[in-house]
Amino acid sequence: MSNFSFGSLNIEAFKRSISNFGYQRSDRYNVYFSKVSASLKRSILYAGVSELEFQTQLNDRLQSIKLPEQSLATNTIKVSGVDYEHPYQTNYEGDIEMTFLLDKTAFLRRVFNNWLNDIHLGRSGAFRYKTDYACNIIIELTNQQGTPQSGCLVFDVFPKTVSAFSTDGESTKLVEQTVTFSYKNYVNGFSRFSDPDIFGPPAI
């Protein structure tokens, strides 16, 4: 039996681990849209910007992104008088939230508002088919040089809420905007290098 201790050997091993792998910083990430839907393409066009500019400005102004937790739902089964948990379903809890800073023209807000409004066909009361409006998103975690280290691919994403914001004549703080997205599921281990259907800055 081995004994764990914080002796010199373990400290050196810890130093080597940090040197080789480092830490993941929370401010090192990128978001890329993949399999861009006709609805999002129209929304970007109506906002008066290019797809590349939309993608670039989103990453430049993105303050945070929240990806919901993934879990296994289980049932308890009894085997030889002993209770065991047995998984039967993968659950994805909650929504995706992106928060970004608005520029003076608020074009990012306009893109997401356009996208949300384009899903609902107004006077008819009908909604577009999901294949017309849903996209995939790749969320990358990067190192300090901007090289992707890990990431996930999120399927069938579309905006469900564009948050309100308020102004304040007594404050000069920057205005933040939050957009909440619905999605189907996600898988880990993807980056923009994995998917040829991404618009935005080319893979380096």
Domains and CATH numbers, the chain: 23-194 (2.30.110)
Per DSSP, 191 falls in state -
d(CA 186, CA 140) in angstroms, rounded, equals 13
Instruction: For 94-105, write each residue's pLDDT tens digit.
Output: 899 999 999 888
Instruction: Classify strands 96-101 and 135-142 as parallel, antiparallel or unpaired.
Output: unpaired
Predicted TM-score (pTM) of this structure = 0.75
Per DSSP, 133 falls in state H
- pLDDT at residue 145, rounded to an integer: 67
Nearest 10 degrees: CA dihedral of 67, 133, 89, 68? 10
CB atoms within 10 A of CB 179: 22
Burial (CB < 10 A; 0-12, 13-18, 19+), residue 200, is buried
d(CA 97, CA 94) in angstroms, rounded, equals 9
Please report how the helices 38-46 and 107-119 are oriented relative to each other, as an axis angle in degrees rounded to 10.
140
Number of continuous H segments (helices) and E segments (strands) in the chain? 5, 9
Closest CA to 150 of 201, 187, 188: 188
Per DSSP, 171 falls in state -
Answer whether 159's CB lies under 8 Å from 177's CB. no
Cα distances (Å, whole numbers) of residue 147 to 55, 57, 96, 130, 190 = 17, 19, 23, 33, 13
Instruction: For 33-85, write each residue's pLDDT tens digit.
Output: 988 999 999 999 999 889 899 999 999 999 998 887 888 888 998 888 888 88
Instruction: Classify strands 148-162 and 186-188 as parallel, antiparallel or unpaired.
Output: antiparallel
Judge whether residue 109 has pLDDT over 80. Answer: yes
Judge whether residue 133 has pLDDT over 50. Answer: yes
